Chain A
Amino acid sequence: MLVYIVRRLGLSVVLLGVAILATFFLHHALPGDPAAAVLGKQYTEAGADEMRERLGLNDPLPTQFVRYLGDVVSGDLGRSHVSNELVTDDLKRVLPATIELGACALLLATFVGISLGIATAMRPRTWWDVGGLTLALAGVSLPIFWLGFLAIQFFGEGGTLASFTGIPGLPLGGRFSAAEIKLGQYVADTPAATGFFLFDTLFVARDADAFWHVVKHLLLPAVVLSSVPTAVIARITRASMGEALIQDYIRTARSKGLPTRVVVLKHALRNAAIPVTTSIGTQLGYLLGGAVLTETIFQWPGMGTYVVQSILNLDVKPLQACVLVVAVAFVFVNLFVDLSYGFLDPRIRVDGDRG
C-alpha cells in the first residue's frame, strides 16, 4: 500500500507541474498584447515598450517561467487588468460560492443517483427499470441552460407554480437578495465569516431566517446543476449493482435468511462501490465545468461567471488562476479517489504491497 501511495503522490506532483507549465503558456497563447491590455486607453508605442519591460515580457522564456513558478508557489497570482483587483482576493470571494453550490449539487446527485440506481437494479427489465434508465438518459441529454430556463418558468418567482397555487416562487438568481439582507456586508465585516453562506448564517450569525433565505437561493441552481451527475451516478450504480446482485455470495446471503436491506446495502453495494466512487469523483470535474453554465443562468457570483468574464475580457491573470485552481482541485480529487480504492477493496491493498 505504501509503495502505491508514494507512486500515486509522485504522479500528482508531475500533474501539478504540467498544470503550471500549461497555464504559463496560456499567457503567451492568448491573442492580443498583454502590455496593451494593461495600458488600455493610455496606450502609446513607447508606453507599451516600457510596460513590456516592466512586466518582464522581454526576458527569455525560461526566466519568465521561473518567475511565474515562484509567484505561483508563493501565492501571488497577479492582478486583473480590468478591475485591477488582486486575483487572490477575487478567488476568496468566488470560490466559496462555487464550492457551496457544487457541494450541494454533488450531495444531492450522490443521494438521488445511488437510490435511483439501486431501485432500478433490484427490479431489472420492469417498467421501473425502463423508466429509471430513460430518466437517466434524459438527464444527460438535457441542455443545462434549457433545464434552468424551465425550472425558472415553473418554480421561479412569478412562474407557473406561483401563479396557480399562490405559493411564492423561488428566487431567480444570485446567492441572496441585497434588498432584503446585508449578507455581503456582514461577511466582509465579520472576521469569523467564511464566505460559505450556509455555514455563516447557521453557525456564525445564528440567524434562521437568513439561513432559509440562503437555502431558497441555492435550491434551483443546485437541483439544475445536479441533473447530469445524478443521471451518470444512477447509470453506473444500476450497472455495477446489477452485476453484483447476481453473484453467488448474494444468493448465499439471501439463503442464510438475511433481510433484503442488509443484503443489498451491505453485501451488494459494498462490492459495487468502486465504479460508483470513481463516477462520483469524475462528476466533481463536471461540476466545475458545468457550473459555468448554471452560474451564468442564475447569475451566481462564483468561479464560473468569473471565468466567463475573464475569457470575454481576455483577462489573463484571472483566467490563468482559474485554470490552475481547477487543475489543482482535479489532481487532489483523483488522488483521493485512487487512494480510496485501497480502503474499498482489500485486494488492491494486497496487490499494491507486491508492486
Chain B
Amino acid sequence: MNNFVKWLLTFLRHHRPAFVGTVLVSAVVATAVFGPSLLAHAPDDVFARFAPRSPEHRLGTDSQGYDILARLVHGARTTLAISLAAMSMSLLLGTLLGAVAGFAGGFADMFIMRLVDVAMSFPGFLLAMVTVAILGAELENVIVAVGLVGAPMFARQVRAEVLRVVAADYVMAARSLGLAAPRVLLAHVIPNSLGPIIVLGTLGMGSAILDVAGLNFLGLGGDPFRIPEWGLILTQGWNKRPDANLQVAVAGLAIFVTVLGFNLLGDGLKDELDPRTRRR
C-alpha cells in the first residue's frame, strides 16, 4: 500500500493534467460527502419562487421555490451515485463478457465479440434512448440503459487484456514454478490487467454523467420531483428560461467540471500506463 501511495504521488507530481483532474474529482466527491451537512436548507424546503440571489439563498430559488444551492449540493451526491451505478454495471457486465470471450475462445469468443462489434457500431446515446423506451422512463431504467451501452467497451478491453496476460512470459514462469492457478490469477493476471480497466472506468464515469444528464434532458428520466440529479436541475431551469438562466448555467458548470475532472484523470492514467507515452 505504501508503494502505491508513493507511485501515486510521483505520478501526480509529474502529470499536471492528472493533478488538476484529481483536484476537481476530489472537490466534487468532498461536496457530495460533506456538503449536505453544511447547508442551511434542505433540498425540499419550499420558499418564495424565483427568489434572487441573497445571503439566505446564495444562488436564489427555482420555479418550485427550492433553494438552488441546496439542490446542487445534494445533486452532487445523486449524480455521482447514479453514474457510479451505471459505470459499475458496464464494468461488471463488460468484464464478465470479455473474460468469458478471452478464456473460452472458439465459438463463445466469436459470438460475444461480434455482438460487441455490432453494439459499438451504433450510436450509444440512441441505443440508450431506445433501451429506456423499451424498459419505461424511470431512473432505474436510465441507469440500466447507460450501463448496458457502456459495457461493450469494457468487454473489448478485458478480452484483449486476458489474451495478453495469459500468454505473457511471467505467467508462464509463475506456472512452471508450480504456483497454484488461483495464486497465478490473483498475483499476476489480475494486477497486470487492472490498469486499462481503471482507465476505462474513470473515463466511463464522465460519459455516464453526460449520458444520464442527456436522457434526463429529453424527459426520459422519470419522476422530476425526487431529489434531483444535475441533468434534471439543468432541464428544469431550461424549461423556465429566462427566469432560471442562472440555474441552467450553474448546473451545466457542475456537470462540465466533474466530467472534465474524470477525463483529465483518466487520460493521465492512460498516458502513465502506456509505455509508449510514459515519460522518464
Q: Are B263 and A153 neighbours in the complex by a CB distance under 8 Å?
A: no
Q: Are A326 and B264 neighbours in the complex by a CB distance under 8 Å?
A: no
Interchain CB contact (< 8 A) of B252 among A137, A149, A311, A323: A149
Q: Which residues of B lie under 8 Å from residue A307 when comparing CB positions?
A: 126, 129
Q: Are A137 and B133 neighbours in the complex by a CB distance under 8 Å?
A: no
Q: Are A141 and B217 neighbours in the complex by a CB distance under 8 Å?
A: no
**Minimal Cβ-Cβ distance residue in A for B255:** A143
* Complex CA distance for A15 and B267, rounded to whole angstroms: 33
Q: Which residues of A lie under 8 Å from residue B234 when comparing CB positions?
A: 143, 145-146
A314 contacts chain B at the CB level, 8 A cutoff: yes
Binds A, one of B2-10, B68-76, B116-124, B157-165: B116-124
A293 contacts chain B at the CB level, 8 A cutoff: yes
Interchain CB contact (< 8 A) of B122 among A141, A146, A326: A326
Q: Are A288 and B123 neighbours in the complex by a CB distance under 8 Å?
A: yes
Q: Are A141 and B259 neighbours in the complex by a CB distance under 8 Å?
A: yes
Q: Are A334 and B134 neighbours in the complex by a CB distance under 8 Å?
A: no
Q: Are B259 and A319 neighbours in the complex by a CB distance under 8 Å?
A: no
Of all A-B residue pairs in the complex, the 3 with the closest CB atoms, nearest first, are A146-B252, A289-B123, A289-B125
* Size class of the contact patch on chain B: 35 or more
B103 contacts chain A at the CB level, 8 A cutoff: no
Contact flag A143-B134 (CB < 8 Å), given A307-B129, A327-B122, A330-B122: no
Q: Are B126 and A143 neighbours in the complex by a CB distance under 8 Å?
A: no
Q: Which residues of A lie under 8 Å from residue B249 when comparing CB positions?
A: 149-150
Q: Are A285 and B248 neighbours in the complex by a CB distance under 8 Å?
A: no
Residues of B at the A interface (CB closer than 8 Å) are 17, 118, 121-126, 129-130, 132-134, 136, 206, 210, 213-214, 217-220, 231, 234, 238, 245, 248-249, 251-253, 255-256, 259-260, 263-264, 267
Contact flag A292-B125 (CB < 8 Å), given A137-B267, A138-B260: yes
CB distance from B250 to the nearest CB of A (A): 10
Q: Which residues of A lie under 8 Å from residue B251 when comparing CB positions?
A: 146
Q: Are A285 and B122 neighbours in the complex by a CB distance under 8 Å?
A: yes
Q: Which residues of A lie under 8 Å from residue B217 when comparing CB positions?
A: 145, 293, 296
A259 contacts chain B at the CB level, 8 A cutoff: no
A204 contacts chain B at the CB level, 8 A cutoff: no
* Complex CA distance for A79 and B126, rounded to whole angstroms: 21
Digit string of A332-352 for contact with B (CB within 8 Å is 1, else 0)? 001000000000000000000
Contact flag A143-B231 (CB < 8 Å), given A137-B263, A319-B133: yes
Q: Which residues of B lie under 8 Å from residue A319 when comparing CB positions?
A: 130, 133
Interchain CB contact (< 8 A) of A26 among B130, B245, B260: B130
Q: Which residues of B lie under 8 Å from residue A327 when comparing CB positions?
A: 122
Residues of A136-158 whose CB lies within 8 A of B: 137-138, 140-146, 149-150, 153
Q: Are B126 and A141 neighbours in the complex by a CB distance under 8 Å?
A: no
Q: Are A312 and B252 neighbours in the complex by a CB distance under 8 Å?
A: no
Q: Are B130 and A140 neighbours in the complex by a CB distance under 8 Å?
A: no
Q: Which residues of A lie under 8 Å from residue B255 when comparing CB positions?
A: 143, 146
